[in-house]
Amino acid sequence: MSEMEPAKNMISIKIDGVEYKAKEGEYILNAARANDIFIPAICYLTRCSPTLACRICLVEADGKQVYSCNARVKEGMEITINTPNILKERRAIMEVYDVNHPLQCGVCDQSGECELQNYTLELGVDSQSYAIPDTKRETKNWSSVLHYDAGLCIVCERCTTVCKDMIGDAAIKTTKRGGAALDKDYKATMPKDAYAMWNKLQKSIIAPSNGTDYTNCSDCGECIAVCPVGALVSRDFQYTTNAWDLKRIPATCAHCSSGCQIYYETKPTSIADRTEKIYRVTNEWNYISLCGAGRFGYDFENRVEGKDQEAFTKAVEAFKKAKVINFTSVITNEEALMLQSLKEKMGVKLINREARAFQRFLDFYSQASGNSLYTTDFKEVMATDFVMSVGTSLRNDNPNARYAFNNIQKMNKGAGLYFHPVGDNLVPTFGKNIEMFTHKVGQEELALLLIIDLFADHDKLPNSVKEQLDRDKLLEALGKDSEAFAKSFDKMMKKKESFSLMVGEDLYFHEKAENIAKLIAVLENSSSVKVAMIPPKTNSLGVALICDLDDEAEGYTIGYNALGDFRLSALGDGDLDMPSMNQQEGTLTNMHKRVTPTNAALEYHGYELNDIMAELISAPKYTIDWTPHLPVEKGFKSINFDDLPNEYKNDGTENRGYLLDTTTKEVGEIEVDKFDDSTVLDGEIAYRCNPQRQFNDFTNKAHQIFEEFGLYASKERAETLGKRVTVEFDNGSLELDVIVDERMDGDIVAVPDFKSAENIYELFGASRYQKVIIREV
Amino acid sequence: MDATILPEVTAAGVIIKAILILAVISAIAGFGTYIERKVLAFMQRRLGPQHVGPYGLLQLAADGIKLFTKEDIIPQHANKIIFMIAPIITAATAFIALAAVPVFPDFTIPFVDVYVPSIASDVNVGILFVLGMMAAGLYGPLLAGMAQSNKWGIIGSARTAVQFLSYEVVTGLSLLAPIMMVGSLSFVDFNNYQSDGTWLVVYQPVAFILFLIAGYAETNRTPFDLLEHEAEIVSGYVTEYSGMRWGMFFIGEYANMITIGVIASVVFLGGYNDFWIFPGWLMILGKIAFSFFFMLWVRAAWPHVRPDQLMWLCWKVLMPLAVINVVITGIVMMIG
Amino acid sequence: MGLEQFKNRNVGTQNYVKLDLPHPPKNGWCAFKQVLSRSLKPELFVGLWVALREMINALFRGQMHTTQYPLEKLPISPRYRAIHEMLRLLESGHYRCIGCGLCEKICIANCITMDTRYDENQRKEVSEYTINFGRCIFCGYCAEVCPELAIVHGGRYETASEQRASFSLFEDMLTPIDKLNLQQEYQGFGAISPNADENIKKTPLAY
């Protein structure tokens, strides 16, 4: 049971004669797993649709054989996991899987964690009754990270399922193998399901769905994670180590605000070099999906041989004369608390642009709504069946938000509205019932007004809002034909019960942020739409809650992973080295409002921020001693770091850290400004947005993240721009290579901000959109 | 060399002979170690030394070089003078004893026609002299063991004393019977006594056996190698010795072995008299060689006895036997 | 015997059982008789004869036992577990190791380490392999577990070296390519020596 959801609609079922509780409407397999009962299953993925490829999850329910991955529990259902016939089927299925599967487990990367190995042993397959001539199956590199060994593939379709249902790329599909046809005799002699499964298996193989040899996807590597055998392996990891040699360190991914649970898997670098190295990142793929940055961007550690006394002394001096501390959101809660303590005791000013924008927005929101924090998390969003997104480039800003948007379309037969000035040709492919609003920059308020108009109980609305609600006008302003929209909206609304809205960074970096926050509060007050916010960067939420940030400051600046007169850096290029996120312990506050622990995967021998604290003010022995002192009044709890769990339970419960407490207070009626066109931008516009797998300097440092720092543009736009351009802003200019992002649409170009040295925030100022002049070089 | 006949005893002759004996015997003593290692090896079906020179013959040279070049270590708390003198006593007495022992028949050097009496000095109390010298030789181990301030050394010297007290009486008494028969203490007379071809061992078998036993004790050979028995007391009196000082003990020991061989041959086994077609010098060489070999053979075959057993054996068994032998010899001579 | 008794270190309080030895001589005469009987019994001379016989056997009958070790070596038991060897495939000469890591996993002394990589032929290549012979206890599990009969225990028991590393790298253990024809298969734990038949002695029960 999830912590938020009280035990509702519980029914009782009997499995092998023992009574258990299960959620109504749940699949038998999930109900069994939630009760810690093992039913063999290969092809099923918890948050995706049942594939029915393996058929091994056969059980008998109320006397009938059903597949436990797609049969739902009913009150009083009696389930038998093993019957003689089912055991025969399962054994035959495993034998079939072993037909022509290479036996060189020794060289296979999956050996030791291979589900084929496990189930072959589990079901006691000790002889082979079936045979068929093998087909030559080529090993292929699908992309810069994906390696597919078709010879090992058992076509369970987990990769295609996760790619479609969770990731949304649908970059791979099953295709014809061209294998020999099954011997006719088998039909009569084999167990039925095993024959059917083999028949399908023998015909298919996995290939990129665009018909080429290369996938066109976001390189998230989730297919690698779900692959039960060694068919899909990352190119970098392949053949470098065995699964059992790796030490798993549970941690929290620190690239974006999703804060996914990951395991860093480490082992000594080589025979000659015994320092630990991260070989790969794995995840609990049944419960959380990673993006490419999380999975492949792991080697950003700051290798420091020892404590540099001199640099440390200089750092302490610098802190003593510092007026300003400039830092990024890639920082733990503990470190943020340290900086806040410095502010309180030494009066320095704290600058963190993205967190400050978010902090202001949250303040406006809570003043208007009375909620101390946004009320929904993305888990709840994922459970809704109508999702909307405003002010975020879904594909780039936050993978988890994107996965949620996609998953709702696929799993909940959902519908979606996507409001964003930058066109995107991936989002429409998520499902049939998606309306894209490619509106003008600055019209975000109109988008929210339209949503209010569509979903709110008009009686509850304040007058200042009511008078702005003219659906036709709104639709027209947002670029839609009102009749056509009305028709499709009716279709979208069929059988829809729960509604959610994701809002993103565009709204925080917005001139009318206050008004927008009010509109969101209005929406929540007057409708059942749940609103979740995407913090702009990794720990922006934590920083916004912990630190008392300043808007502008001048004077001697210390930069922590950011620009400054004296630079602390976990990138190895600063005046004093700091541990990077995979080298330190601490907690991060993610967008699910959850404070999650992360652990040190690699050694770090240098100084930490805590050492400077000890020198300047006073500090406990370890960084994690700060954890229980996080501000309780902001929703944090006084829990010791070592007491924070970091795991998923069998029923999918996220047992990680703790949730922030939220409070609600009564507020008066909300007064909303009237929309005016003053903020709407026209002409040549640049959008501050990172490519899919880049979030910050750390992802950029990782050797498997290839996305360059350049000007991203849609194909058509790129053709008009040329190869290299200068982008002139009001207060500066940049020279960038033009890079085509095939999934972008329209004329707006994207300028990444993942290189803090380029000081992109300064160029864009208080908005994510800026008018620019682009010239070819 | 001068072609004149040397007077029977000239100073130059004695010195030349002394030097010769010293050189030859010490060489043979060294060579004895090689023989011992070889023979013991063969009896255990091993090969023994074989890498230095042909059949390992130059092992002796290698050992000699090693001993000569080794650092001469004197323990800090040792009585230095005695510690340094002790090996010299052993070696010196062994060689001095050889002065009164005739090894070869007298001969004339061919071509130069020089008559050479083979004995360095035909002392008329030769036997007493030799026995006395060999007995004095045991002061070497005794002093060495006590001077080195090492408990194994002390035990070694204590055992030396035990041994000393045990065999000396038997040696003397066992030789008394042949002396009575020959009526002289000169080895030359012993030799001449047997020139008719009848060996004294025929008349005095008991005395011969007693002498052999006592002789083994005197030379510290198995079964009476109590003084430095490695298995029990590390190295006994030589524990703290190294290099040439250590080597001198062993030159002494091997010289003593030869001396005992010579005495046994001359007194009991017909001396250097010609025998059948074999000339005297060959006979005595053969006898000495066999005597030496027998010592090695015994060492290969027999275990050693405890000090108390040696003492018990010498005083309670051998001495009575020797006395009885003397008495019987006397009675027989009276009657005869 | 119980453990308590075994642990009792108070010498003299244990229940020693005296063997059935003859009584020591009671008086001097008895002792004298004992000496006489021992001396005159032929055992002493048998001892001399045995020593001489062995010498004759050694010198003239070719029964010398000594093996002149560095020059000649005795054949070693196929079960012997000396420094490891890495074997090659007989046909291609390519090394057999596939880098599966089972030896690394099973090693109870934790002394095997290997680096593997993806090579140009899309195969798993062992780029480096080492055994820490300071730790290795020569238990033979690695050879036992190897699915390719690649790592085996060789007969190379002469392991004196200036440094342990002299034996421990892949190339050191790998059969030299020019000696491929001399490569011996490892017979393993249960192997019997080639001369096992000769070593069988008749036992009273068998005949």
- What are the pLDDT digits (tens) for B83-133? 888 888 888 888 888 877 877 777 777 776 677 776 767 677 888 888 888
* Residue C74 is assigned to a structural domain of this protein: no
Predicted pLDDT at C34: 82
- A231, A239, A233: which is closest to A116 by C-alpha? A231
Instruction: Categorize the per-residue pLDDT at B3 as very low, low, confident or very high, splitting at 50, 70 and 90.
Output: very low
* Residue C166 is assigned to a structural domain of this protein: yes
Predicted pLDDT at C207: 41
Domain span at residue B206 reads 11-335
* Residue B1 is assigned to a structural domain of this protein: no
Closest-approach residue (CA) in chain C for B309: C35
- Tell me which residue in A106, A239, A244 faces C118 most closely, judged by beta carbons: A239
Domains of chain A: 309-357+540-659 (no CATH), 376-533 (3.40.228.10), 681-776 (2.40.40.20)
Question: Domain tally for chain C?
Answer: 2
* C-alpha–C-alpha distance, residues A288 and A5, integer Å: 18
Predicted pLDDT at A1: 36
The verdict on C61 and C30 lying in the same domain is yes
Q: Long-range contact list for A627-634, CB < 8 A, 24+ apart?
A: A627/A333, A627/A334, A627/A586, A627/A587, A629/A337, A630/A333, A630/A334, A630/A337, A630/A546, A630/A587, A630/A595, A631/A337, A631/A545, A631/A546, A634/A372, A634/A545, A634/A546, A634/A660
Predicted pLDDT at B5: 44
Contact B231, B155 (CB under 8 A): no
* A106/C117 touch (CB, cutoff 8 Å), yes or no: no
The CATH code of the domain that includes C128 is 3.30.70.3270
* C-alpha–C-alpha distance, residues B323 and B315, integer Å: 11
The verdict on C109 and C175 lying in the same domain is yes
Contact A179, A153 (CB under 8 A): no
* Residue B60 is assigned to a structural domain of this protein: yes
* Residue C187 is assigned to a structural domain of this protein: no
Type of residue found at B51: H
The strand pair at A434-437 and A658-659 is best described as unpaired
* Residue C70 is assigned to a structural domain of this protein: no
Predicted pLDDT at A181: 87
The verdict on C176 and C88 lying in the same domain is yes
Domain span at residue C57 reads 12-65
Token digits for A634?
Answer: 């902001």
- DSSP state letter for B313: I
Token digits for A284?
Answer: 């609990």
Residue B6 has pLDDT above 80, yes or no: no
The verdict on C43 and C116 lying in the same domain is no
- Neighbouring CB atoms inside 10 A of C207's CB total 5
* Residue B5 is assigned to a structural domain of this protein: no
Helix, coil or strand: residue C73 = coil
E strands in A123-176: 139-141, 146-149, 172-176
CA distance A104 to chain C (A): 9
C172 touches chain A (CB under 8 A): no
* Residue C57 is assigned to a structural domain of this protein: yes
Question: Domain tally for chain B?
Answer: 1
C115 neighbourhood in chain A, CB within 8 Å: 240, 270-271
* Residue B2 is assigned to a structural domain of this protein: no
The strand pair at A566-569 and A594-598 is best described as unpaired
B301 neighbourhood in chain C, CB within 8 Å: 47-48, 50-51
- Neighbouring CB atoms inside 10 A of C73's CB total 12
B316 touches chain C (CB under 8 A): yes
Token digits for A245?
Answer: 């040699």
Residue spans of alpha helices (H) in A125-181: 158-161
* Residue C35 is assigned to a structural domain of this protein: yes
- Neighbouring CB atoms inside 10 A of C163's CB total 8
Question: Which residues touch B128 (CB under 8 Å, ≥6 apart)?
Answer: B185
C100 neighbourhood in chain A, CB within 8 Å: 105-107, 111, 242
* C-alpha–C-alpha distance, residues B186 and A713, integer Å: 128
Instruction: Categorize the per-residue pLDDT at B310 as very low, low, confident or very high, splitting at 50, 70 and 90.
Output: confident
User: What per-residue string of b and e applies to A281-298 under the rule 16 or more CB within 10 Å gives b?
Assistant: bbbbbbbbbbbbbbbbbb
Touching subunits of C (3+ CB pairs, under 8 Å) are: A, B
- Tell me which residue in C98, C119, C129 faces A106 most closely, judged by beta carbons: C98
Pick from A694-703, C7-16, C141-150: least confident: C7-16
C87 touches chain A (CB under 8 A): no
Q: Which residues in chain A show pLDDT less than 70?
A: 1-8
The verdict on C100 and C138 lying in the same domain is yes
* Residue B25 is assigned to a structural domain of this protein: yes
- A617, A103, A670: which is closest to A320 by C-alpha? A617
Residue C155 has pLDDT above 90, yes or no: no
The verdict on C51 and C88 lying in the same domain is no
H or E segment and range at residue A515: helix A513-526
The verdict on C173 and C94 lying in the same domain is yes
The verdict on C44 and C121 lying in the same domain is no
Contact A372, A366 (CB under 8 A): yes
For the entire predicted model, the pTM comes to 0.78
Tell me the CB-side half-sphere exposure of residue A333, using CA atoms within 13 A. Answer: 35
* Residue B3 is assigned to a structural domain of this protein: no
Token digits for A655?
Answer: 């047992």
Residue B80 has pLDDT above 60, yes or no: yes
- A177, A243, A255: which is closest to A701 by C-alpha? A255
